[in-house]
Structure 1
Amino acid sequence: MKRIKQGKWALAEFYSEVSMSLNLALTKVDMDNHGSGNPSAMIEYANREAVRTFILGLNSKYTSGTLYSHNPKDLETAYAIVSPIYHDNEKLKFGVLQYNQQRQYNASQYQNSSRRHYEEPQWYRPNVQVQYNQTAPRQHHQPIHEIRKSQ
């Protein structure tokens, strides 16, 4: 029983696993002490170990600490105390997750809309090759100041 941890289980699943383990331990105590007088010490020990396993096996240290401070007497009480705390934390995590996803979506929408309105200019580069006619004679041009003098 002591090795049970919440891991990826939901709180109800984790509680169910610890509860089944406790029931197996109690059944064994009952069978071993069927003819003897007082199995109450073993039953009390099994109940304490189930509560301890439940508290220490929780994923959230905050929830575990809060539950420990309430000092529950049995597994059902421990589950009743921790259930609203756990579900409030899950709602909070879900709300934060939704908020972050909405922010990322809004940021990507802003980036996409700004890209639509402004795009980097792409320079026009025609695929034209300039060829010079080598058979034509080169003309000699007069400088501008000589042309003015001749007029």
Structure 2
Amino acid sequence: MTDSLVLEQLEQAISIPIIDGMHAQGDLLVIPARLLDAVTVRPDATWRYVPADGIEVLRGPAGGNPHTLVAEPGSCRWTTQLDDPTGLALGMFVADTVAYLMHPEHGATGSAPGAYVIRRQRENSNHGARLVAD
């Protein structure tokens, strides 16, 4: 196998999709903020930049794998101080460059620059609605 073929296979193995719309990762939804009129940032919200090692957005039950938001330093802000009538929103991020949501089992997805709300998913059954568990 030639060196260029090996490099080509490695590049394909680490390709991360960059999405500018709504997308899911396991039990989470990443939704452009413009699509959620009812979810608002509180007027006194505190924003913080996503650090180099990322922000753990949600960890699976019983200490399971984390969903982690990562971005280039200084390019993405995060807050959990939202008003959401559904109670499903975990936080909002505003990214100047691509931001990534990473998970050991689901891989990674990239969000194009913009403002996004990360929410829990829920599903309906004969016994009512429940949160999707990853």
TM-score, normalised by the number of residues in structure 2: 0.19
| Structure with the higher fraction of residues in strand conformation | 2
The TM-score with structure 1 as length reference comes to 0.17
Structure ranking higher on relative contact order (CA contacts 8 Å, 6+ apart): 2
Bigger Rg, structure 1 or 2: 1
